[in-house]
Structure 1
Amino acid sequence: MRTTKHFDYVVNRIASAKKNADSLASGIGHHGIAGEIREIAAKECIEPFLTQSYQCGTGKVIDSLQNLSDQLDLIVYHRKVAPPILVGRDLGLYPVECVRYVFEVKSTLNAREIKDANKKFRSVSKLLSFPTKGQDGSVKSGPLPTTVLLAFSTDITSSEIERYKKHTDDEHPPCTVLCVLGKGYWFYDAASNSWYGLESNDDYPPFFEFSMFITGLMNTLSSEETSIRPFYPGSYINVDDIILSALNKPTLTKYEV
Protein backbone atom coordinates (compact mmCIF):
# COMPACT_ATOMS: atom_id res chain seq x y z
CA MET A 1 0.00 0.00 0.00
CA ARG A 2 1.56 3.27 -1.14
CA THR A 3 1.33 6.25 1.21
CA THR A 4 2.25 9.93 0.90
CA LYS A 5 5.05 11.71 2.72
CA HIS A 6 2.46 13.66 4.74
CA PHE A 7 0.74 10.46 5.80
CA ASP A 8 4.05 8.91 6.79
CA TYR A 9 4.94 12.03 8.77
CA VAL A 10 1.70 11.83 10.78
CA VAL A 11 2.13 8.12 11.46
CA ASN A 12 5.79 8.46 12.42
CA ARG A 13 5.00 11.23 14.91
CA ILE A 14 2.25 9.32 16.71
CA ALA A 15 4.23 6.04 16.63
CA SER A 16 7.29 7.74 18.14
CA ALA A 17 5.24 9.66 20.72
CA LYS A 18 3.36 6.51 21.79
CA LYS A 19 6.57 4.49 22.07
CA ASN A 20 8.25 7.17 24.19
CA ALA A 21 5.15 7.69 26.36
CA ASP A 22 4.78 3.93 26.92
CA SER A 23 8.42 3.68 27.91
CA LEU A 24 8.33 6.65 30.29
CA ALA A 25 4.99 5.72 31.88
CA SER A 26 5.85 2.03 32.33
CA GLY A 27 6.31 1.16 35.97
CA ILE A 28 6.20 4.77 37.07
CA GLY A 29 3.58 3.92 39.69
CA HIS A 30 1.80 7.27 39.64
CA HIS A 31 -1.40 7.70 37.63
CA GLY A 32 -1.14 11.49 37.51
CA ILE A 33 2.41 11.55 36.16
CA ALA A 34 1.59 8.87 33.59
CA GLY A 35 -1.38 10.95 32.47
CA GLU A 36 0.78 14.05 32.08
CA ILE A 37 3.24 12.06 29.96
CA ARG A 38 0.38 11.11 27.62
CA GLU A 39 -0.81 14.73 27.46
CA ILE A 40 2.65 15.91 26.43
CA ALA A 41 2.84 13.15 23.83
CA ALA A 42 -0.56 14.11 22.43
CA LYS A 43 0.45 17.76 22.19
CA GLU A 44 3.61 16.79 20.30
CA CYS A 45 1.45 14.95 17.77
CA ILE A 46 -1.17 17.67 17.31
CA GLU A 47 0.71 20.96 17.51
CA PRO A 48 2.72 20.46 14.27
CA PHE A 49 -0.52 20.25 12.28
CA LEU A 50 -2.13 23.46 13.52
CA THR A 51 -2.47 26.33 11.08
CA GLN A 52 -0.76 29.66 11.72
CA SER A 53 -3.29 31.29 14.06
CA TYR A 54 -3.89 28.30 16.33
CA GLN A 55 -1.94 27.22 19.39
CA CYS A 56 -2.16 24.51 22.07
CA GLY A 57 -2.61 25.06 25.78
CA THR A 58 -4.13 23.46 28.84
CA GLY A 59 -6.44 24.75 31.56
CA LYS A 60 -10.09 25.81 31.61
CA VAL A 61 -12.47 27.43 29.13
CA ILE A 62 -14.43 30.48 30.29
CA ASP A 63 -17.33 32.47 28.85
CA SER A 64 -18.15 36.19 29.15
CA LEU A 65 -20.67 35.40 31.90
CA GLN A 66 -17.79 33.94 33.94
CA ASN A 67 -18.92 30.32 33.66
CA LEU A 68 -15.96 27.93 33.79
CA SER A 69 -15.36 24.46 32.37
CA ASP A 70 -13.53 21.73 34.25
CA GLN A 71 -9.77 21.40 33.82
CA LEU A 72 -9.02 20.06 30.33
CA ASP A 73 -5.95 18.19 29.12
CA LEU A 74 -5.45 20.03 25.83
CA ILE A 75 -7.04 23.12 24.29
CA VAL A 76 -6.62 24.30 20.69
CA TYR A 77 -7.36 28.00 20.53
CA HIS A 78 -7.24 30.87 18.05
CA ARG A 79 -4.76 33.41 19.41
CA LYS A 80 -5.86 36.25 17.09
CA VAL A 81 -9.47 36.28 18.28
CA ALA A 82 -9.02 36.88 22.00
CA PRO A 83 -6.00 36.51 24.28
CA PRO A 84 -6.29 33.95 27.07
CA ILE A 85 -5.41 34.71 30.68
CA LEU A 86 -2.21 32.70 30.93
CA VAL A 87 -1.06 31.49 34.34
CA GLY A 88 2.02 29.87 32.79
CA ARG A 89 3.37 29.55 29.28
CA ASP A 90 0.61 27.11 28.26
CA LEU A 91 -1.71 27.05 31.29
CA GLY A 92 -4.60 29.47 31.46
CA LEU A 93 -8.24 30.47 31.04
CA TYR A 94 -9.38 30.52 27.43
CA PRO A 95 -12.42 32.51 26.14
CA VAL A 96 -14.82 29.99 24.64
CA GLU A 97 -15.17 32.07 21.46
CA CYS A 98 -11.51 31.47 20.59
CA VAL A 99 -11.42 27.73 21.42
CA ARG A 100 -11.88 25.28 18.54
CA TYR A 101 -10.98 21.90 20.08
CA VAL A 102 -10.75 20.54 23.62
CA PHE A 103 -9.16 17.17 24.41
CA GLU A 104 -9.23 14.61 27.14
CA VAL A 105 -6.25 12.27 26.75
CA LYS A 106 -6.39 8.79 28.30
CA SER A 107 -3.60 6.25 28.72
CA THR A 108 -5.93 3.23 28.69
CA LEU A 109 -9.59 3.82 27.89
CA ASN A 110 -12.07 2.08 30.19
CA ALA A 111 -15.61 2.71 31.42
CA ARG A 112 -14.43 4.93 34.28
CA GLU A 113 -12.32 7.08 31.95
CA ILE A 114 -15.25 7.47 29.54
CA LYS A 115 -17.45 8.74 32.36
CA ASP A 116 -14.70 11.11 33.51
CA ALA A 117 -14.25 12.54 30.00
CA ASN A 118 -18.02 12.95 29.57
CA LYS A 119 -18.21 14.88 32.86
CA LYS A 120 -15.54 17.32 31.71
CA PHE A 121 -17.06 17.72 28.26
CA ARG A 122 -20.48 18.43 29.81
CA SER A 123 -18.90 21.36 31.64
CA VAL A 124 -17.91 22.76 28.23
CA SER A 125 -21.44 22.31 26.86
CA LYS A 126 -22.78 24.62 29.61
CA LEU A 127 -20.72 27.57 28.38
CA LEU A 128 -22.25 30.33 26.25
CA SER A 129 -20.32 31.56 23.23
CA PHE A 130 -21.34 34.81 21.51
CA PRO A 131 -24.30 35.16 23.92
CA THR A 132 -27.22 37.29 22.77
CA LYS A 133 -30.30 38.16 24.81
CA GLY A 134 -33.71 37.90 23.16
CA GLN A 135 -36.68 40.18 23.74
CA ASP A 136 -38.13 37.59 26.13
CA GLY A 137 -34.96 37.70 28.22
CA SER A 138 -33.67 34.32 27.07
CA VAL A 139 -29.99 34.00 26.19
CA LYS A 140 -28.94 32.28 22.97
CA SER A 141 -25.48 30.84 22.39
CA GLY A 142 -23.23 30.28 19.39
CA PRO A 143 -21.10 27.24 18.46
CA LEU A 144 -18.99 25.42 21.03
CA PRO A 145 -15.61 23.66 20.71
CA THR A 146 -15.28 20.18 19.28
CA THR A 147 -14.73 17.72 22.14
CA VAL A 148 -12.15 14.99 21.48
CA LEU A 149 -11.54 11.85 23.53
CA LEU A 150 -8.10 10.55 22.53
CA ALA A 151 -6.83 7.28 24.02
CA PHE A 152 -3.43 5.61 23.58
CA SER A 153 -4.83 2.15 24.33
CA THR A 154 -7.95 0.36 25.54
CA ASP A 155 -8.96 -2.43 27.91
CA ILE A 156 -11.39 -4.13 25.50
CA THR A 157 -11.21 -5.98 22.20
CA SER A 158 -14.86 -5.37 21.25
CA SER A 159 -16.32 -2.26 19.56
CA GLU A 160 -15.11 0.97 21.12
CA ILE A 161 -17.92 3.13 19.77
CA GLU A 162 -20.57 0.72 21.02
CA ARG A 163 -19.05 0.84 24.50
CA TYR A 164 -18.96 4.63 24.42
CA LYS A 165 -22.66 4.78 23.51
CA LYS A 166 -23.47 2.28 26.25
CA HIS A 167 -21.96 4.58 28.89
CA THR A 168 -23.48 7.78 27.47
CA ASP A 169 -27.14 8.54 28.22
CA ASP A 170 -27.14 12.16 27.00
CA GLU A 171 -29.48 13.28 24.22
CA HIS A 172 -26.37 14.44 22.38
CA PRO A 173 -23.03 12.87 23.38
CA PRO A 174 -20.65 15.15 25.31
CA CYS A 175 -17.78 13.73 23.23
CA THR A 176 -18.03 14.54 19.52
CA VAL A 177 -14.81 12.85 18.34
CA LEU A 178 -13.48 9.51 19.59
CA CYS A 179 -10.02 8.32 18.53
CA VAL A 180 -8.48 5.23 20.11
CA LEU A 181 -5.08 4.17 18.80
CA GLY A 182 -5.24 0.73 17.27
CA LYS A 183 -9.05 0.61 17.57
CA GLY A 184 -10.68 3.28 15.43
CA TYR A 185 -11.87 6.82 14.75
CA TRP A 186 -15.44 8.15 14.98
CA PHE A 187 -17.16 11.54 14.90
CA TYR A 188 -20.68 12.57 15.86
CA ASP A 189 -22.93 14.46 13.45
CA ALA A 190 -25.59 16.42 15.36
CA ALA A 191 -27.73 17.07 12.28
CA SER A 192 -28.36 13.37 11.72
CA ASN A 193 -27.88 12.39 15.38
CA SER A 194 -25.48 9.69 14.19
CA TRP A 195 -21.90 8.51 14.61
CA TYR A 196 -19.65 7.95 11.60
CA GLY A 197 -16.24 6.32 11.51
CA LEU A 198 -14.34 3.08 11.17
CA GLU A 199 -12.83 0.26 13.17
CA SER A 200 -9.11 -0.29 12.65
CA ASN A 201 -8.06 -3.61 11.14
CA ASP A 202 -5.13 -5.24 9.37
CA ASP A 203 -6.24 -3.84 6.00
CA TYR A 204 -5.23 -0.36 7.15
CA PRO A 205 -1.72 0.92 7.90
CA PRO A 206 -0.76 1.31 11.59
CA PHE A 207 -2.30 4.35 13.27
CA PHE A 208 -4.57 4.97 10.28
CA GLU A 209 -7.25 6.13 12.74
CA PHE A 210 -5.03 8.95 14.00
CA SER A 211 -4.26 10.02 10.43
CA MET A 212 -7.99 10.30 9.78
CA PHE A 213 -8.40 12.48 12.86
CA ILE A 214 -5.50 14.75 11.88
CA THR A 215 -6.96 15.06 8.37
CA GLY A 216 -10.24 16.30 9.81
CA LEU A 217 -8.49 18.67 12.19
CA MET A 218 -6.32 20.22 9.47
CA ASN A 219 -9.25 20.60 7.08
CA THR A 220 -11.34 22.30 9.79
CA LEU A 221 -8.65 24.72 10.92
CA SER A 222 -7.65 25.60 7.36
CA SER A 223 -11.23 26.35 6.34
CA GLU A 224 -11.75 28.56 9.39
CA GLU A 225 -8.38 30.32 9.33
CA THR A 226 -9.71 33.29 7.36
CA SER A 227 -13.39 33.06 8.29
CA ILE A 228 -13.41 33.41 12.07
CA ARG A 229 -16.62 35.00 13.30
CA PRO A 230 -16.10 38.62 14.48
CA PHE A 231 -15.84 38.80 18.24
CA TYR A 232 -15.34 41.65 20.70
CA PRO A 233 -13.25 40.39 23.63
CA GLY A 234 -14.03 43.51 25.66
CA SER A 235 -17.17 41.70 26.80
CA TYR A 236 -14.92 39.75 29.17
CA ILE A 237 -13.92 42.98 30.94
CA ASN A 238 -17.25 44.19 32.29
CA VAL A 239 -16.44 47.90 32.55
CA ASP A 240 -19.91 48.88 31.34
CA ASP A 241 -21.59 46.88 34.10
CA ILE A 242 -19.29 48.39 36.71
CA ILE A 243 -19.98 51.97 35.58
CA LEU A 244 -23.72 51.45 35.35
CA SER A 245 -23.80 49.79 38.77
CA ALA A 246 -21.73 52.52 40.43
CA LEU A 247 -23.16 55.61 38.80
CA ASN A 248 -26.46 54.52 37.26
CA LYS A 249 -25.51 56.66 34.28
CA PRO A 250 -24.81 55.99 30.59
CA THR A 251 -21.50 54.23 29.94
CA LEU A 252 -19.94 57.26 28.22
CA THR A 253 -20.43 60.96 28.77
CA LYS A 254 -20.21 63.46 25.91
CA TYR A 255 -17.90 66.41 26.58
CA GLU A 256 -17.97 69.62 24.59
CA VAL A 257 -14.77 70.68 22.87
Structure 2
Amino acid sequence: MSNWSLSQLLASLHEDIQQRLATVRKTIHHPGSKGDASENVWIAMLDLYLPKRYQTAKAHVVDSLGNFSQQIDVVVFDRQYSPFIFTYEGQTIIPAESVYAVFEAKQTADAGLVSYAQDKVASVRRLHRTSLPIPHAGGVYPPKPLIPILGGMLTFESDWNPALGAPFASALNAGTGERQLDIGCVASHGHFFRDPESGSYSFESENKAATAFLFKLISRLQFSGTVPMIDIEAYAKWLV
Protein backbone atom coordinates (compact mmCIF):
# COMPACT_ATOMS: atom_id res chain seq x y z
CA MET A 1 0.00 0.00 0.00
CA SER A 2 1.10 3.56 -0.66
CA ASN A 3 2.43 5.62 2.23
CA TRP A 4 1.30 8.88 0.60
CA SER A 5 -1.04 11.08 2.63
CA LEU A 6 -3.11 13.74 0.88
CA SER A 7 -3.76 15.41 4.22
CA GLN A 8 -0.03 15.66 4.86
CA LEU A 9 0.64 17.03 1.37
CA LEU A 10 -1.93 19.81 1.86
CA ALA A 11 -0.56 20.56 5.32
CA SER A 12 2.95 20.83 3.88
CA LEU A 13 1.81 23.40 1.32
CA HIS A 14 0.44 25.65 4.07
CA GLU A 15 3.43 25.10 6.37
CA ASP A 16 5.79 26.13 3.58
CA ILE A 17 3.95 29.41 2.99
CA GLN A 18 3.56 30.18 6.69
CA GLN A 19 7.21 29.44 7.42
CA ARG A 20 8.42 31.63 4.57
CA LEU A 21 6.22 34.53 5.71
CA ALA A 22 7.37 34.06 9.30
CA THR A 23 11.01 34.10 8.18
CA VAL A 24 10.45 37.36 6.31
CA ARG A 25 8.87 38.87 9.43
CA LYS A 26 11.75 37.81 11.70
CA THR A 27 14.80 38.37 9.53
CA ILE A 28 14.03 41.42 7.34
CA HIS A 29 13.74 44.69 9.25
CA HIS A 30 13.58 47.32 6.51
CA PRO A 31 9.84 47.98 5.90
CA GLY A 32 10.15 48.25 2.13
CA SER A 33 12.28 45.13 1.80
CA LYS A 34 9.99 43.23 4.15
CA GLY A 35 6.98 44.20 2.04
CA ASP A 36 8.67 43.16 -1.19
CA ALA A 37 9.66 39.81 0.30
CA SER A 38 6.12 39.14 1.55
CA GLU A 39 4.69 39.89 -1.88
CA ASN A 40 7.20 37.54 -3.49
CA VAL A 41 6.15 34.68 -1.19
CA TRP A 42 2.52 34.99 -2.28
CA ILE A 43 3.42 35.48 -5.95
CA ALA A 44 5.64 32.38 -5.91
CA MET A 45 2.85 30.29 -4.36
CA LEU A 46 0.23 31.39 -6.85
CA ASP A 47 2.56 30.97 -9.82
CA LEU A 48 3.36 27.43 -8.66
CA TYR A 49 -0.15 26.20 -7.92
CA LEU A 50 -2.55 28.13 -10.15
CA PRO A 51 -3.31 26.62 -13.59
CA LYS A 52 -0.85 27.82 -16.22
CA ARG A 53 -3.44 29.96 -17.98
CA TYR A 54 -2.90 32.33 -15.05
CA GLN A 55 0.23 34.26 -14.16
CA THR A 56 0.96 36.50 -11.19
CA ALA A 57 3.10 39.63 -10.85
CA LYS A 58 3.47 42.91 -9.02
CA ALA A 59 2.23 45.42 -11.56
CA HIS A 60 0.32 48.48 -12.64
CA VAL A 61 -2.80 47.96 -14.73
CA VAL A 62 -3.55 50.21 -17.73
CA ASP A 63 -6.58 50.71 -19.94
CA SER A 64 -6.93 51.72 -23.60
CA LEU A 65 -7.85 55.27 -22.56
CA GLY A 66 -4.40 55.72 -21.02
CA ASN A 67 -5.49 55.45 -17.37
CA PHE A 68 -3.30 53.59 -14.86
CA SER A 69 -4.14 51.88 -11.60
CA GLN A 70 -2.12 52.25 -8.44
CA GLN A 71 0.71 49.75 -8.10
CA ILE A 72 -0.79 46.38 -7.16
CA ASP A 73 1.17 43.91 -5.03
CA VAL A 74 -0.25 40.76 -6.63
CA VAL A 75 -2.08 40.71 -9.98
CA VAL A 76 -3.50 37.45 -11.31
CA PHE A 77 -3.80 37.82 -15.08
CA ASP A 78 -4.32 35.82 -18.23
CA ARG A 79 -1.40 34.51 -20.24
CA GLN A 80 -3.27 32.31 -22.70
CA TYR A 81 -5.20 35.06 -24.46
CA SER A 82 -3.33 38.22 -23.45
CA PRO A 83 -1.52 39.52 -26.53
CA PHE A 84 0.90 41.77 -24.68
CA ILE A 85 2.32 42.50 -21.25
CA PHE A 86 4.56 45.57 -20.99
CA THR A 87 7.78 45.74 -19.02
CA TYR A 88 9.61 49.03 -18.60
CA GLU A 89 12.60 49.70 -16.34
CA GLY A 90 11.75 46.69 -14.22
CA GLN A 91 8.05 47.59 -13.96
CA THR A 92 5.25 45.36 -15.27
CA ILE A 93 2.21 46.93 -16.98
CA ILE A 94 -0.82 44.73 -17.67
CA PRO A 95 -3.84 45.65 -19.84
CA ALA A 96 -7.06 45.83 -17.83
CA GLU A 97 -8.79 43.24 -20.03
CA SER A 98 -6.28 40.58 -18.93
CA VAL A 99 -6.86 40.87 -15.16
CA TYR A 100 -8.67 38.21 -13.13
CA ALA A 101 -7.81 39.25 -9.56
CA VAL A 102 -5.79 41.79 -7.58
CA PHE A 103 -4.47 41.61 -4.02
CA GLU A 104 -2.75 43.86 -1.51
CA ALA A 105 -0.11 41.86 0.39
CA LYS A 106 1.35 42.94 3.71
CA GLN A 107 2.66 41.40 6.92
CA THR A 108 -0.23 42.35 9.21
CA ALA A 109 -3.94 43.03 8.74
CA ASP A 110 -5.54 46.04 10.42
CA ALA A 111 -8.27 48.57 9.62
CA GLY A 112 -5.84 50.80 7.73
CA LEU A 113 -4.70 47.95 5.50
CA VAL A 114 -8.27 46.89 4.71
CA SER A 115 -9.13 50.43 3.61
CA TYR A 116 -5.87 50.71 1.65
CA ALA A 117 -6.57 47.39 -0.10
CA GLN A 118 -10.08 48.54 -0.96
CA ASP A 119 -8.69 51.68 -2.60
CA LYS A 120 -6.12 49.66 -4.54
CA VAL A 121 -8.78 47.26 -5.84
CA ALA A 122 -11.03 50.17 -6.83
CA SER A 123 -8.21 51.74 -8.86
CA VAL A 124 -8.22 48.63 -11.07
CA ARG A 125 -11.96 48.04 -11.28
CA ARG A 126 -12.70 51.58 -12.46
CA LEU A 127 -10.46 51.17 -15.52
CA HIS A 128 -12.06 50.85 -18.95
CA ARG A 129 -12.09 47.38 -20.51
CA THR A 130 -12.83 46.51 -24.15
CA SER A 131 -14.53 43.35 -25.45
CA LEU A 132 -14.66 42.46 -29.15
CA PRO A 133 -16.86 39.96 -31.01
CA ILE A 134 -15.17 36.57 -31.29
CA PRO A 135 -14.90 34.98 -34.78
CA HIS A 136 -15.48 31.23 -35.10
CA ALA A 137 -15.99 28.72 -37.90
CA GLY A 138 -19.76 29.28 -38.02
CA GLY A 139 -19.75 33.04 -37.72
CA VAL A 140 -19.13 35.47 -34.87
CA TYR A 141 -19.90 35.28 -31.17
CA PRO A 142 -21.06 38.56 -29.63
CA PRO A 143 -18.66 40.39 -27.28
CA LYS A 144 -18.26 38.58 -23.95
CA PRO A 145 -19.60 40.29 -20.84
CA LEU A 146 -16.76 41.63 -18.72
CA ILE A 147 -15.83 39.27 -15.91
CA PRO A 148 -15.87 40.62 -12.34
CA ILE A 149 -12.33 41.37 -11.14
CA LEU A 150 -11.75 39.68 -7.79
CA GLY A 151 -10.16 41.84 -5.09
CA GLY A 152 -8.54 40.83 -1.83
CA MET A 153 -5.73 41.03 0.69
CA LEU A 154 -3.01 38.65 1.86
CA THR A 155 -1.23 38.84 5.21
CA PHE A 156 0.70 36.70 7.64
CA GLU A 157 -0.78 38.04 10.89
CA SER A 158 -3.59 40.26 12.18
CA ASP A 159 -3.65 43.09 14.71
CA TRP A 160 -7.18 42.06 15.69
CA ASN A 161 -7.96 39.48 18.37
CA PRO A 162 -9.67 37.31 17.35
CA ALA A 163 -8.01 37.68 13.97
CA LEU A 164 -11.16 37.13 11.92
CA GLY A 165 -13.69 38.65 14.33
CA ALA A 166 -16.19 41.49 14.29
CA PRO A 167 -13.72 44.40 13.76
CA PHE A 168 -12.39 42.70 10.63
CA ALA A 169 -15.94 42.17 9.35
CA SER A 170 -16.80 45.81 10.05
CA ALA A 171 -13.77 47.02 8.10
CA LEU A 172 -14.61 44.77 5.14
CA ASN A 173 -18.27 45.81 5.09
CA ALA A 174 -17.18 49.46 4.84
CA GLY A 175 -16.01 48.74 1.31
CA THR A 176 -18.87 48.78 -1.19
CA GLY A 177 -19.13 48.87 -4.97
CA GLU A 178 -15.71 49.09 -6.60
CA ARG A 179 -14.04 48.99 -3.15
CA GLN A 180 -15.46 45.68 -1.96
CA LEU A 181 -13.02 42.86 -1.22
CA ASP A 182 -13.98 39.33 -2.24
CA ILE A 183 -11.41 37.02 -0.72
CA GLY A 184 -8.28 37.01 1.41
CA CYS A 185 -5.99 35.13 3.75
CA VAL A 186 -4.42 35.71 7.16
CA ALA A 187 -1.97 32.83 6.94
CA SER A 188 -1.56 32.35 10.70
CA HIS A 189 -5.31 32.16 11.33
CA GLY A 190 -7.63 31.56 8.40
CA HIS A 191 -9.21 33.00 5.29
CA PHE A 192 -12.31 34.99 4.37
CA PHE A 193 -14.54 35.26 1.33
CA ARG A 194 -17.60 37.19 0.23
CA ASP A 195 -20.65 35.34 -1.07
CA PRO A 196 -21.45 36.92 -4.47
CA GLU A 197 -25.16 36.21 -4.06
CA SER A 198 -25.85 37.41 -0.51
CA GLY A 199 -22.95 39.86 -0.24
CA SER A 200 -22.14 38.56 3.25
CA TYR A 201 -18.66 37.58 4.44
CA SER A 202 -17.64 34.19 5.81
CA PHE A 203 -14.60 33.77 8.04
CA GLU A 204 -12.92 30.37 8.29
CA SER A 205 -10.40 29.77 11.07
CA GLU A 206 -8.21 26.78 10.27
CA ASN A 207 -4.73 25.30 10.61
CA LYS A 208 -4.11 25.20 6.85
CA ALA A 209 -5.23 28.70 5.93
CA ALA A 210 -2.97 29.20 2.89
CA THR A 211 -4.13 25.93 1.33
CA ALA A 212 -7.81 26.67 2.04
CA PHE A 213 -7.43 30.14 0.53
CA LEU A 214 -5.74 28.72 -2.58
CA PHE A 215 -8.56 26.23 -3.15
CA LYS A 216 -11.22 28.91 -2.67
CA LEU A 217 -9.41 31.24 -5.10
CA ILE A 218 -9.13 28.51 -7.75
CA SER A 219 -12.83 27.77 -7.34
CA ARG A 220 -13.74 31.45 -7.77
CA LEU A 221 -11.48 31.73 -10.84
CA GLN A 222 -13.13 28.68 -12.41
CA PHE A 223 -16.50 30.44 -12.24
CA SER A 224 -15.03 33.68 -13.62
CA GLY A 225 -14.68 32.19 -17.08
CA THR A 226 -12.25 33.62 -19.63
CA VAL A 227 -11.17 37.22 -20.07
CA PRO A 228 -12.74 39.16 -22.98
CA MET A 229 -11.19 39.49 -26.41
CA ILE A 230 -9.10 42.66 -26.15
CA ASP A 231 -9.39 45.41 -28.74
CA ILE A 232 -5.75 45.80 -29.77
CA GLU A 233 -6.55 48.74 -32.04
CA ALA A 234 -7.82 50.70 -29.05
CA TYR A 235 -4.32 50.50 -27.57
CA ALA A 236 -2.56 50.93 -30.91
CA LYS A 237 -3.95 54.48 -31.27
CA TRP A 238 -1.42 55.55 -28.63
CA LEU A 239 1.34 54.86 -31.19
CA VAL A 240 0.40 58.04 -33.05
> Does 2:22 match 1:19?
yes
> Does 2:170 match 1:170?
no
Written as runs of structure 1 = structure 2, the 5 A alignment for 1:70-219 is 70-82=70-82, 83-87=84-88, 91-130=91-130, 142-160=146-164, 162-167=166-171, 168-172=173-177, 173-200=179-206, 206=207, 208-219=208-219
- After the TM superposition, which segments of 4 or more aligned residues of structure 1 sit over 6 Å from their partners? none
2:27 maps to a residue whose letter is L
3-state SS of paired residue (1:4):
helix
Deviations 1:111-142 (A, max 9, x none): 2222211111121221233369xxxxxxxx72
Q: Determine which structure has more spread, i.e. the larger CA radius of gyration.
A: 1
Indicate the residue corresponding to 2:56 in structure 1: 56
Find the aligned partners of 1:40 and 1:240 in 2 and give their Cα distance: 32
Q: Quote the sequence identity (%).
A: 21
Find the aligned partners of 2:65 and 2:131 in 1 and give their Cα distance: 9
What is the CA distance between 1:101 and its match in structure 2? 1.7
Find the aligned partners of 2:213 and 2:108 in 1 and give their Cα distance: 19
Find the aligned partners of 1:92 and 1:41 in 2 and give their Cα distance: 18
Q: Which moved more, 1:215-224 or 1:141-150?
A: 215-224
Indicate the residue corresponding to 1:252 in structure 2: none
Indicate the residue corresponding to 2:229 in structure 1: 231
Find the aligned partners of 1:195 and 1:185 in 2 and give their Cα distance: 11
Instruction: Check the 8 A contact 1:7/1:211 in 2, yes or no.
Output: yes
Find the aligned partners of 2:227 and 2:154 in 1 and give their Cα distance: 27
Q: What stretches of structure 1 of length at least 5 have no aligned partner?
A: 133-140, 201-205, 243-257
What value does the CA root-mean-square deviation take over the aligned residues?
2.9
3-state SS of paired residue (1:237):
helix
1:198 maps to a residue whose letter is E
> Which of 1 and 2 has higher RCO (CA within 8 Å, sep 6+)?
2
Question: Given the two structures, how large is their TM-score scaled by the length of structure 1?
Answer: 0.74
Question: Given the two structures, how large is their TM-score scaled by the length of structure 2?
Answer: 0.79
Instruction: Check the 8 A contact 1:186/1:196 in 2, yes or no.
Output: yes
Deviations 1:9-66 (A, max 9, x none): 42232133123312322xx2x3212111111122222221021222121111122222
Find the aligned partners of 1:171 and 1:8 in 2 and give their Cα distance: 34
Deviations 1:75-115 (A, max 9, x none): 111112222112256x3111122111211111111222222
Deviations 1:181-231 (A, max 9, x none): 22221111232121123133xxxxx3x22111111233445677xx52450
1:156 maps to a residue whose letter is W
1:4 maps to a residue whose letter is S
2:20 maps to a residue whose letter is A
Find the aligned partners of 2:193 and 2:74 in 1 and give their Cα distance: 18
Pair 220,5 (structure 1): closer, same or farther in 2 beyond 3 Å: farther
Q: How many residues align?
A: 222
2:35 maps to a residue whose letter is G
